[in-house]
């Protein structure tokens, strides 16, 4: 059986608001998610055994059963036991380009690629909605990663409604290599820090929803108004992550001083991104940030908004 190679793009959050708590222990969110061209490549190969194995050269990516890509294959094997018996085990090779623990959904997009890839490899023909339901069992961002593009995400992040694609804006991503933020820590800390207001808001979820500020960003996306898109970026997690990690706050300030369309921390961080109209502007922002912060631990990428989720790699 031929191997299947898939492109698994990263995501950024153009908007992230924590609305309240949920009975399942997760948090109710309002987000605008956006794929970017920075991507991992996932290759699936039948291995002729009954085992699922993960291979990844990146030192921070576990190759054991805790890897979300492993868990995705395991979920497929359990859900489609007949196909698993017929085709046997699989080797999952992860070519990691997306930084780890970064707020860019690197683990989620790998899991999404395994779901999409095994469906193709085993010839099952699962609908995208069914794949997204499976994905939601693995992580809140997995359903978005399958579809990609630009979308509003509500619920715990898995309820999606697509938005029109934003034109080819450029994106500068910046992350301190040695700094990672745990999403679980970020939610816990946000909750503790804003407990008083937060619990009240939880009780009045519908009031909070009515006061949501995402409308202006969504209108700007509808109207392809790049200036307004840049001005309306928002992320509740900045309140705690920028305070906990002053170097990330300084990084965001350095980016903002370069006059981008807008800049924001993505997800629970610590990656900060800037939007730019042209590649020249994005390159200039990256160069200026590098000159203000010459720290070799700081890594910068220039990429683009991307209009696809998981897809087969070109040959
Ligand atoms: O869904 P996922 O596994 O990616 O979530 C990672 C962490 O973030 C979990 O600890 C979960 O409790 C928390 N989370 C949350 N509310 C969400 C999404 C994630 O509390 N809507």
- Has residue 310 been placed in a domain? no
Closest CA to 36 of 198, 193, 168: 168
CB 182 within 8 A of CB 173: no
Q: Which pLDDT score, from 0 to 100, does residue 30 have?
A: 94
Ligand 1 mutation pick, 101, 107, 136, 140, max ligand atoms within 8 A of CB:
140
Give the end-to-end CA distance of the chain in Å, rounded to a whole number.
16
Domain containing 295 equals 170-304
226 and 137 in one domain? no
Same domain, 148 and 253: no
Question: Model confidence at 46, in pLDDT bands (50, 70, 90)?
Answer: very high
CA of 140 to the centre of ligand 1 (A): 7
pLDDT value of residue 204: 59
The domain boundary, picked from 165, 184, 201, lies at 165
Task: Say yes or no to pLDDT of 102 above 90.
Answer: yes
Contact criterion met (CB below 8 Å) for 14 and 141: no
Catalytically annotated residue among 141, 175, 208, 252? 141
Q: What is the ipTM of this complex?
A: 0.95
Residue nearest atom 8 of ligand 1, based on CA coordinates = 184
194 lines ligand 1 (CB under 6 A): no
Per the domain annotation, does 314 fall within a domain?
A: no
Residues whose CB falls within 8 Å of the CB of residue 312, separated by 6 or more in sequence, listed in order: 4, 5, 6, 7, 120
309 in a structural domain: no
Characterize the bridge pairing of strands 272-276 and 52-56.
unpaired
Q: What is the mean pLDDT of residues 180-201?
A: 83
**What does the pLDDT look like over 121-163, one tens digit per residue?**
999 999 999 999 999 999 999 999 999 999 999 999 999 999 9
CB of 184 within 6 A of ligand 1: the answer is yes
Q: Does 313 map to a domain?
A: no
Specify whether 299 is catalytic: no
Q: Which residues are paired to 160 by β-bridges?
A: 153
Pocket test for ligand 1, best of 21, 105, 187, 190 (most atoms within 8 A of CB): 187
79 lies in some domain: yes
Instruction: Answer yes or no: is the C-beta of 156 below 6 A from any ligand 1 atom.
Output: yes
Cα separation, 12 vs 14, in Å, equals 6
Q: Are residues 140 and 161 in the same domain?
A: yes
Do the Cβ atoms of 31 and 17 come closer than 8 Å? Answer: yes
* DSSP notation for 86-148: HH--EEEEEE--SPTTSSS-HHHHHHHHHHHHHHHHTT----HHHHHHHHHHH-TTHHHHHH-
21 or 60: which leads in pLDDT: 60
* 184: its two tokens: 């679980």
Q: How confident is the model at residue 20, as a pLDDT?
A: 85
pLDDT of res. 86: 95
Q: What is the DSSP string of 235-272?
A: ETTHHHHHHH-HHHHHHHHHHHTT--SEEEE-TTSS-E
- The answer to whether residue 106 sits within a structural domain is yes
Domain termination site, one of 136, 165, 194: 165
Between the CA of residue 218 and those of 3, 30, 32, what are the distances in Å?
40, 12, 8
Is residue 120 domain-shared with residue 214, that is, in the same domain? no
pLDDT category of residue 213 using cuts at 50, 70 and 90: confident
Could you tell me the maximum CA-CA distance found in the chain, to the nearest angstrom? 58
Residues 206 and 265 in one domain: yes
The structure's pTM equals 0.95
| pLDDT tens digits, one per residue of 265-292 | 999 999 999 999 999 999 999 999 999 9
Do residues 255 and 289 lie in contact, with contact meaning Cβ atoms separated by under 8 Å?
Answer: yes
**Ligand 1 in contact with 197 (CB < 6 A)?**
no
pLDDT at 32: 97
Contacts of 33 (CB under 8 A, 6+ apart): 11, 12, 13, 14, 141, 144, 150, 151, 152, 153, 160
The answer on pLDDT for 231 being more than 60 is yes
For every residue of 21-89, DSSP letters joined together read E-TTSSEEEEEEEEEEEEEEEEEEEE-SSS-EEEEE--TTS--STTSHHHHHHHHHHHHTHHHHHHH--
Question: In the predicted model, is pLDDT for residue 197 greater than 90?
Answer: no
Residue whose CA is at the smallest distance from ligand 1 atom 3: 139
Q: Are residues 81 and 186 in the same domain?
A: no
Residues 12 and 160 in one domain: yes
Is the CB–ligand 1 distance for residue 187 below 6 Å? yes
CATH number for 282: 3.30.70.890
Asked if residue 154 and residue 289 are part of one domain, the reply reads: no
Selected residue with higher pLDDT from 201 and 117 = 117
Candidates 145, 180, 175, 176; CA nearest to 61 is: 180
Known catalytic residue: 96?
no
In a domain, 113, yes or no: yes
Mean pLDDT (the chain) is 94
Is residue 46 a part of any domain in this protein? Answer: yes
């Amino acid at each position: 059986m031929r191997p299947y190679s898939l492109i698994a793009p990263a995501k950024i959050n153009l908007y992230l608001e924590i609305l309240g708590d949920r009975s399942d222990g997760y948090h109710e969110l309002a987000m605008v998610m956006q794929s970017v061209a920075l991507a991992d490549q996932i290759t699936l190969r039948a291995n002729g055994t009954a085992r699922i194995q993960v291979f990844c050269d990146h030192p921070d990516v576990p190759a054991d059963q805790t890897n979300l890509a492993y868990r995705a294959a395991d979920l497929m094997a359990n859900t489609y036991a007949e196909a698993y018996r017929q085709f046997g085990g699989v080797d999952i090779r992860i070519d990691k380009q997306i930084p780890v623990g970064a707020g860019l959904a690197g683990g989620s997009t790998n899991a999404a690629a395994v779901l999409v890839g095994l469906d193709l490899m085993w010839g099952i023909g699962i609908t995208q909605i069914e794949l997204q339901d499976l994905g939601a069992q693995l992580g809140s961002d997995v359903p978005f990663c399958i579809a990609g593009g630009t979308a509003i995400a509500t619920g715990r992040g898995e309820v999606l409604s697509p938005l029109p694609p934003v034109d080819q804006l450029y994106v500068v991503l910046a992350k301190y290599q040695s700094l990672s933020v745990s999403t679980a820590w970020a939610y816990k800390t946000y909750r503790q820090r804003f407990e008083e207001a937060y619990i009240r808001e939880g009780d009045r979820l519908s009031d909070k929803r009515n006061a949501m500020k995402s409308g202006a960003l969504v209108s700007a996306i509808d109207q392809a108004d790049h200036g307004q898109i840049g001005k309306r970026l928002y992320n509740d997690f900045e309140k705690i992550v920028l305070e906990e990690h002053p170097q990330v706050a300084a990084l965001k300030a350095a980016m903002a001083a370069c006059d981008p369309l807008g800049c924001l921390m993505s997800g629970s961080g610590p990656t900060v991104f800037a939007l730019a109209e042209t590649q020249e502007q994005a390159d200039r922002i990256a160069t200026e940030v590098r000159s203000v912060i010459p720290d070799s631990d700081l890594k910068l990428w220039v990429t683009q908004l991307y209009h696809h989720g998981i897809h087969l790699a070109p040959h």
